Amino acid sequence: MTEIHLTGRAASPGLAIGPVTVLMGIVESRRVSGDPAQETVALKAAVEGAAADLAKLIKAEQGEAADILEFQVAMLGDDALAEGAFDAIATGIPADQAWRSALNAEIAGYRSAEDEYFRARVADLMDIRDRVLERLNGSENSSAISGGSIVASDEISPSAFLAADWRRGGAIVLAAGSSSSHVAMLARARGTPMVVGVGPLSWDGRPPALALVDGDAGTVIFDPEPETKRQFEQRMKTAHAAHALADADRAKPALTADGRRITVLLNIAAPEELTNLDPAICDGIGLVRTEFLFEASQALPDEETQFAIYRRILDWAQGRPVTIRTLDAGGDKPIAGLTIDGESNPFLGLRGIRLSLLRPEAFRLQLRALARAAVHGPLKVMLPMVTIPSELDRARELLDAEIAALRAKGIACARPLLGIMVEVPAAALRAEDFDAGFYSIGSNDLTQYTMAAARDNGMVADLNDTGNPAVLALITRAVEAGRARGVEVSLCGDAAADIRLTKALLATGLTSLSVSPVAIGRLKATIATVKT
């Protein structure tokens, strides 16, 4: 057996070693649904099958992992969990849809819990939901990704990534894919190494047992020789030591080599990411994506639930500023029932603030919850995809109206600072025309719109480069506009966490960067080496 070396593109940094899990093309098979009696039988079988799968898994696990699985088995074995789904099936709703809604309702209950421990169970409930859905959709062979394994596949869906437990290591190797895909973003946020574009993965029926993944260099070695493995493990040890060192310093403020203070903020995609995180590691939260609100239910959660979530994030930040982005649906983030299907080019279509202004109901609900949360800390509200000043003006009018309505009812509220995400070249070029309370540069979209290179297309990945002088010139424009108007400018895209770009970004005059929790230590350590 000889080792196989493959070279692709680095999509998420870090080193990993582990057993290989080959994912077969996961097809979201649309099952044909039957009458209520058949659907009831199908759901029962799927629930029992999923419980049996879990029972098998428990045998391979110990300690905490086994406890968590045991909890999932207990939940699946309880008729109360599927009760709502069976009721829905009786009214003619297909089994998969009925199960999904029932579990999403359960998940919403956990998500709004006061107690952090109960909120952390959201992931378990999602796991339970997806296991049964997989069974229902007949893909019982698509084995779940076990913790610590190297996933080799043509593609991997965000839900498959999210369903796996990456806390015990592991990595992703894709035949195709792009470093700007949604999964790559998630992998970077979780600290999971990822390499894309390694070319066709053909094993002639004999998949490799072990893999070494270098997410910094973009290389993969399958079935390494003992000596190769030994050297790699040595490198991992050194890297972990360096990482631990950087993390040890991450609670300290970020200073450049010449002593300039840089504001380092946090990006989060779901409130659960703040669990066990010390707010001292950041100067605030630069981006809270709110698309997660839709994960748990088909509709936007009610005002009360949203208010509770926003308030909790502000409480976590302990007086540090928190920037929450209003719903950024559309583009690569379709939401059933809200976004428009069948747009010929969704990235240039009805997304972000465009959708919010056209269909303001969900937007107004969110603004109300945000205005109420603003009482509890320094809250900033960021509007995505703003292109022309009138969009900001119209959004402000809606915010004014909601605040007036809340006050009329005697409900406590405050006016959050309203700013815009600068991700459309038109907004970057004329940033000074916007009466914004702050600017936050969304470098992912700004790059793809400026370079006309899609971020989910590996074939044009070379062009999708935030370090390109054209993109940096637009960033500089926005920074200068912010300075002229006396408002803060920060950057919250992936480029902020790409330490190869730190020097170039600080050279534009930026003094505030926002990154995912795993990147904080690395970014601060890099900032310390930059002279401005």
Partner 1 sequence: MHDANASRASKSFTTLTASAVLVNPVGLHARPSVKLTQCAKSFEATIEIALDADGPWTDAKSPVKVMRVKAPQGAMLYFRVTGLDGEAALAAVLALVHDGFGEA
Judged by the rule CB under 8 A, the positions of this chain that interact with partner 1 are 67-68, 70-71, 74-75, 77-81, 106, 109-110, 113-115, 117-118, 121, 124
CB nearer to partner 1: give 118 or 203: 118
- Asked if 305 and 297 touch (Cβ cutoff 8 Å), the reply is no
Is residue 512 within 8 A of residue 286, CB to CB? The reply is: yes
Spatial distance between the Cα atoms of 360 and 141, rounded to a whole number of angstroms: 43
Rounded least distance, CB 81 to partner 1, Å: 5
User: Among 282, 376, 413, 492, which one carries the catalytic annotation?
Assistant: 492
Cα dihedral 469→444→353→318 (10° resolution): -110
Question: Which is nearer to partner 1, 115 or 341 (by Cβ)?
Answer: 115
**3-state secondary structure at position 293:** helix
Least Å from the CB of residue 318 to partner 1: 21
Min dist. Cβ of residue 115 to partner 1 (A): 5
Q: Give the H or E element holding residue 507.
A: helix 502-507
Q: What's the token pair of residue 197?
A: 């574009």
Q: Which is nearer to partner 1, 107 or 424 (CB)?
A: 107
Q: How far is the CB of 86 from partner 1 (least distance, A)?
A: 13
- List of residues 6+ apart from 435 with CB closer than 8 A: 389, 392, 393
- Bridge partners, residue 285, by sequence: 266, 322
Q: Specify whether 282 is catalytic.
A: no
Single out the residue of 360, 505, 504, 529 nearest to residue 441, CA to CA.
Answer: 505
Distance (Å, whole) CA 138 – CA 71: 24
Q: Which two tokens stand for residue 119?
A: 């909120």
DSSP string, 247-274: HHTTTSPEE-TT--EEEEEEEESSGGGG
Cβ–Cβ < 8 Å for 47, 264: no
Measured from the CB atom, is 12 or 72 closer to partner 1?
Answer: 72
Catalytic residue among 182, 243, 282, 376: 182
Query: With respect to partner 1, which residue has the nearer C-beta, 35 or 64?
Result: 64
CA separation for the pair 510, 488 (Å, rounded): 9
For partner 1, the closer of residues 89 and 479 by Cβ is 89
CB of 110 to partner 1, least distance (A): 8
CB nearer partner 1, residue 50 or residue 81? 81
Single-letter residue type at 489: V
User: Min. distance of Cβ 68 from partner 1 in angstroms?
Assistant: 7
The rounded radius of gyration (Å) of the Cα atoms in the chain is 24
Residue 174, strand partner residues: 153
Q: How far is the CB of 399 from partner 1 (least distance, A)?
A: 33
Task: Enumerate the active-site residues.
Answer: 182, 492
